[in-house]
Structure 1
Amino acid sequence: MTMGKILSKICTPNGEEITLDDATQVKSSREFHVHTDDTVTYWLPKDDEELNRVMGQHFAIKDLYEGNILKSVEKSLDFEKGIAILDLGCGPGSWILDMITDYPNCTYEGCDIVDSTNKNITPKQFNWKYGNFLERIDYPDNTFDFIHMRLLLLSVREVDWPIVLKEALRVLKPGGFIQWKEFDLKMTGDGNEAIEKFMNGIHFAMRSRGQDPRIALQSERLLTETNAVKIIEKDYRSIDMTSNTNAAKKFLWDWKETCKSMLPVLGPAIGIEDKVSQEAFLKDIMDGLVTCESYTYMNAVAAQKL
């Protein structure tokens, strides 16, 4: 695989500024997104290994919320009969492909800045389209009955969220619903050194890009400030990583794969630079997750367009 440049910088915990493209190219053969637009700040890989992680992560989130749709939305829209759905920031299309299994009569649009969908799986209900959420996406006003947004916190700067939401609501029909889920990246691990170092690294990397690691706590406010919706459901959940449940096992796998995806970027900033050190650090994190008091947190909000 070739190595794309990450055109941004990070402030390390001690205040040192390093260029991530230089730090990353030396340490990893993973393929990353190449962005020439400073407003596009996504910083995880785009290779097959990362796409598999995103697919697995989908089912962990589905387990956490006991389904793909919040109850208030499910009761309000006729998914069985068929509605028009947009997945904004669809990634490889994991959520859409799963939804098609449950609701084959709906039509699905997936919109993202990178086409990473599986070309071997092309259901007739699914159409993918390129779109930068900070610009006008290629859909007419009032097109969709339901818009799904999830895990955009590593893609959108804090100051840009109002732009993203305004554009999403532009293409949502009056009376339609938007569902937004984000991880709340608050500290966890009960003081475990490896987990704390990893989480601090994520926070510094995100802040350096103008991203908010706890944007999940702002989703209701940001939606309300559009003056275009009413909140119909809020659902903040957490999962105990030591609980040994099926959902916890899935999230443990996701933690491991996420660490592997992030370490090429975070490693140099937190002093974990060579492969041997990164492997040992990853083991320390995984050991800590199952022995310390550690949680994964997520917030979901559903709103209806007025």
Structure 2
Amino acid sequence: MGGCCSRRYFEEEDGTIKYRLIHGRRYHNLSDSMYFVANDDKEAFRLSRYHEAIKEIWGGAFNSPVEKKLRQGAHVVDIGCGTGIWILDMAQQYPNSKFVGIDISPIQPTEGLPPNVEFLQYNVLDGLPYEDSSFDLVHEKFMLVAFTGTQWEEKVIPEMIRLTRPGGWIEMLEADTGASDGTITRRIQKATKGMNLTIGKEIPRILENTNAFSEIRNQHKIVNLGIKYGKSLEESLKFYVRGLSSIKGFMTTSMNVMPEHYDALVETVSIEAEKYSTYFNQYRICAHKKI
């Protein structure tokens, strides 16, 4: 019962295994990454669909005071870029700037890209192929299930700092898994043991301890889920529920349930969100690197 069943592998021509297929969802096959969110078309739809809702919730695609620099011409990297939707949006708005998207999964478009966009497949834990101080803005969002607390402190954030130019900005948008009085929702949340679900509120402390920044701005929003709160928060509910489906390969094992049982539980989460006003927290942190 659980995630050990219904598993297939996709091989490249050289015999290397690129993907795993578990219970109908596709996942990466990197042994040194704990990131267990799917990287298939359903996940790409989830990430791209939520982009506009994030902009509405936060009043824009970014909060760092870099508008002038972006119009003049900045170098920007998005770590964990997913489908590249944020990069593509920003590149269209700021054609004088150069944008690089980094992700462990090659799920970004490869044709018809703007001339100021590049996508690369790398694992940030291995270090990124850029010199120190290469970027004016280093961006990251929703990677809470990708790294352990130690990896955040010892590898991910130090690499982000290394890449940021003196006077540049780091911007991070993170969330937790929320709170609910729904029985099934709480059961699923409890089963996400092993994830670092509080990283959003821990990031400011980690950044401050590096002594690398002259200013750290920390904003927190409670994001209610459901249609009664408006369009963007209806999309937040869909993003949340689809996210639970996207970690199905992990959760069936963690909860020791059959795939079809887990699907039914996820459907109940959507019902409970409307009934019990489920919410999660989002944290947007902007940090100005010392000159």
Please classify the TM superposition score into its range, dividing by the shorter chain length: 0.7 to 0.9
Distance 1:24 1:198 in 2: 21
Relative to its length, the structure with more strand (as a share) is: 2
Aligned-residue Cα RMSD (Å) equals 2.0
Match of 1:291 in 2: 275
Tell me the amino acid that sits aligned with residue 116 of structure 2: Q
Relative distance call for 1:121 and 1:154 in structure 2 (3 A) is farther
Distance 2:82 2:224 in 1: 27
- Deviation string 1:126-149 (CA, Å, 9 cap, x unpaired) is 112232222331011111111111
Match of 2:197 in 1: 213
Given that 2:73 and 2:97 are in contact with CA atoms closer than 8 Å, whether structure 1 keeps it comes out as yes
- Give 3-state SS (helix, strand or coil) of 2:30's partner: coil
What aligned pairs does 1:221-300 form with structure 2 within 5 A after superposition? 221-242=205-226, 243-275=228-260, 277-300=261-284
Given that 2:3 and 2:253 are in contact with CA atoms closer than 8 Å, whether structure 1 keeps it comes out as no
Match of 1:107 in 2: 98
What aligned pairs does 1:51-130 form with structure 2 within 5 A after superposition? 51-70=44-63, 72-74=64-66, 77-130=68-121
Match of 2:25 among 30, 43, 48: 30
Match of 2:15 in 1: none
Say which is worse superposed, 290-299 or 111-120, in terms of deviation: 111-120
Tell me the amino acid that sits aligned with residue 268 of structure 2: D
Distance 1:82 1:238 in 2: 34
Given that 2:23 and 2:259 are in contact with CA atoms closer than 8 Å, whether structure 1 keeps it comes out as no
Distance 2:79 2:218 in 1: 20
TM-score of the aligned structures, taking structure 2 as reference length: 0.87
Say which is worse superposed, 23-32 or 191-200, in terms of deviation: 23-32
Distance 2:80 2:166 in 1: 21
Tell me the amino acid that sits aligned with residue 263 of structure 1: K
Tell me the amino acid that sits aligned with residue 214 of structure 2: K
Relative distance call for 1:185 and 1:278 in structure 2 (3 A) is closer
Given that 1:109 and 1:129 are in contact with CA atoms closer than 8 Å, whether structure 2 keeps it comes out as yes
Query: What is the Cα deviation at residue 80 of structure 1?
Result: 1.8
- Give 3-state SS (helix, strand or coil) of 1:80's partner: helix
Match of 1:170 in 2: 162
Tell me the amino acid that sits aligned with residue 245 of structure 1: G
Given that 2:3 and 2:249 are in contact with CA atoms closer than 8 Å, whether structure 1 keeps it comes out as no
Query: What is the Cα deviation at residue 153 of structure 1?
Result: 1.3
Relative distance call for 1:221 and 1:35 in structure 2 (3 A) is same
Query: What is the Cα deviation at residue 272 of structure 1?
Result: 3.5
- Deviation string 1:3-62 (CA, Å, 9 cap, x unpaired) is xxxxxxxxxxxxxxx9x751563960211111222xx11001111111111111222222
After the TM superposition, which segments of 4 or more aligned residues of structure 1 sit over 3 Å from their partners? Answer: none
Query: What is the Cα deviation at residue 102 of structure 1?
Result: 2.0
Distance 1:240 1:223 in 2: 28
**Structure 2: which 5+ residue stretches go unaligned?**
9-21
Match of 1:136 among 127, 142, 145: 127
**Structure 1: which 5+ residue stretches go unaligned?**
1-17
TM-score of the aligned structures, taking structure 1 as reference length: 0.83
- Give 3-state SS (helix, strand or coil) of 2:124's partner: coil
Match of 1:184 among 172, 176, 179: 176
Tell me the matched-pair count. Answer: 275
Distance 2:258 2:3 in 1: 14
Query: What is the Cα deviation at residue 183 of structure 1?
Result: 0.7
Given that 1:231 and 1:301 are in contact with CA atoms closer than 8 Å, whether structure 2 keeps it comes out as no
